[in-house]
Amino acid sequence: MKFRFPTIFALILGFASANAQSSKIEFVEYDLDNGLHVILHEDHSTPLVAVSIMYHVGSKNENPNRTGFAHFFEHLLFEGSENIKRGEYSSYVESAGGTLNANTSHDRTFYYEIMPSNQLELGIWLESERLLHAKVENVGIETQREVVKEERRQRVENQPYGTWMEETFKRAYKEHPYKWPVIGSMAHLDAAVEKDYVDFYKTFYVPNNAVLSIAGDIDIEETKKYIDKYFAGIPKGTKAIPRPTVVEPPLAGEQRATIEDNVQLPAILQSYRIPGQGTEDSYAVEMLATLLARGESSRLHRSLVDGKQLALQIGAFPFSLEDSGLAVAFALVNAGVKLEDAEKEMEAVYEKVRNELISEKEFQKLRNQIENDFISGNTTIAGRAESLANYHMYFGKADLINNEIDRYMAVTREDIKRVANKYFVPSNRVVLYYVPKKDNP
C-alpha cells in the first residue's frame, strides 16, 4: 500500500460496523452454587474451543486513588497461581497450540483462551486457577508496571489523536468514575501496596462476580463435569461488591477545549451524553449514528466529505457503557479547512435530522444496514463466547445474541427524530478541537 488514512479513525470506522448473528445460536446456561454463571454453546464446525471468563469489574469500580487497577490487574493475572509458576500460564496455552489474551473496559474484564478442542480441560483448569488462587510475585509487579507504562505511551501519548478518549471522558463526566481513563494514573500504580492487590482480588475475583462462557467443539455434559470439578469448590465471595451508584448530573452546558497534539490534520470530535446500553433510546441513538455516518451515502459523508469537501473522514458511533454512554461524531478535516466550518456543517446536518422526519426509504436503508451487521457478527466461536457473556452480564439475557435485532426493528422514524432532539444538542456535548502543535520557525 502506498498511502493510508490515519490509524485511529480508520480503526474506529472498521470496528463500528460489525456484529451479531442470524441463524439461531443454541446454548445452555446455569449457575453453580457459588454463584458462577455458566454459558455453554456447542458448535462442531471446527475442532476448536474458546474458554472465557468475564469479570464484572472495570475501571468504574476502582478506588479513585488507585485508578488503572482493573487493567493492571488484568496484566498481573497472567503471572501464575499456587500451581502455576511465573511464566507458565501463557506457555501452557501456547504449547498446547492455543492462544490467549484479555482486555479491560470501563465495565468489565475479559480473559480467554482459544484452544484445540482436546485441550478443553486445560483451559478450564487455567481459568479456575486464576480465580481460586492467583499468585503474583514482586518481580512480576515491577515488570508489568513498566509494561503498562509502555502500553500507555504506545497507544495514547505517541499516537496521533491518541488522547481523545481521556480528554473527552474527563469533560463528559465530573462525578461518575467514567471520568478517569481505563489505563489510569501511572502514579497510582506506583503507589500501590500489597494490601491493595489482595483487597481488589478478594472483592472482585469471586465466582459470584463472573460469567464462564465456553463455545465450540465441546460435549455439553462432559464440559459440565469439568466445570464442576474445577470451579464448584471455589468459595463464594464474602465481601460486598462495590458498584458506583452516583448518577452523573447533566452536563453544565457545552464543554469545549482545544487540544494541541502531534497531528498534521486538525480534527473535531463531539461527544453527546446518551443513556446506558440496552435502554430503548440507546437503540434509536445507534440508528441515528448509522444514519449520520454509515456508508458513503450517509448524511455526514455526503455533506462534509463528498459535497463540501471539508473533511477527509467522518464518523459517528455510540460509545455505549453500562451506566450511560457517549455518542461520538468526528470529522478529520482536509488541509486548509477551518474546524469551525466543519462544525457548522455538522450542525446543519443534525439540524435537519432534528427538524425533518427521515424518509421511508432512508429508514429502510438503516434497517437493512443494521440487519446486515447483526447477521455478519458473531461468526467465530470466540466472538460468540464473548457476546453471550456480555448479554448475560449487562442484561441478564444471553438470548439477546439471537434476538437483540428485534429491539432495533422496534425503533421508529419518529424515535430517531426524537433522540436527535433529545441528545444531539449543544448543551449535552463535549467538543474537542485537535490541532497541530505549534513549532517555532
Site for another protein in 217-276 (CB under 8 A): 217, 225-226, 228-230, 233, 258, 262-266
Binding mask 104-123 for another protein (x = CB under 8 A): xx----xx--xxxxxxxxx-
CB of 240 to another protein, least distance (A): 26
- Positions 2 through 41 that interact with another protein (CB under 8 A): 2-8, 11-12, 15-16, 18-23
Strand order in the sheet with 429-436: 255-261, 429-436, 267-275, 324-333, 311-319
Residue 439 has a CB neighbour count (10 Å cut-off) of: 5
- Distance CA(129)–CA(78), nearest Å, equals 11
Of the candidate residues 65, 355, 359, 379, the single one contacting another protein (CB under 8 A): 379
Q: What percent helix, strand, coil does the chain show, rounded to 5?
A: 45, 20, 35
User: Of 88 and 281, which has the nearer Cβ to another protein?
Assistant: 88
149 binds another protein, rule: CB under 8 A: yes
Is the sign of the CA dihedral 87, 93, 98, 104 positive or negative? negative
Determine how β-strand 210-216 pairs with β-strand 311-319: unpaired
Residue 400 has, within 13 A of its CA and on its CB side, a CA count of 19
Which region, judged by CB under 8 A, interacts with another protein, from 32-40, 142-150, 170-178, 237-245? 142-150
279 binds another protein, rule: CB under 8 A: no
213 binds another protein, rule: CB under 8 A: no
Which region, judged by CB under 8 A, interacts with another protein, from 31-39, 199-207, 370-378, 423-431? 370-378
CB of 181 to another protein, least distance (A): 8
- Positions 409 through 428 that interact with another protein (CB under 8 A): none
359 binds another protein, rule: CB under 8 A: no
- Distance CA(167)–CA(256), nearest Å, equals 10
User: Of 22 and 185, which has the nearer Cβ to another protein?
Assistant: 22
Of the candidate residues 42, 88, 196, 199, the single one contacting another protein (CB under 8 A): 88
Give alpha helix (H) positions in 335-426: 339-355, 360-376, 381-395, 400-409, 413-423
Grid coordinates given for 303 = 455533506
Instruction: List beta partners, residue 115.
Output: 49
Of the candidate residues 64, 257, 309, 397, the single one contacting another protein (CB under 8 A): 309
CB of 252 to another protein, least distance (A): 26
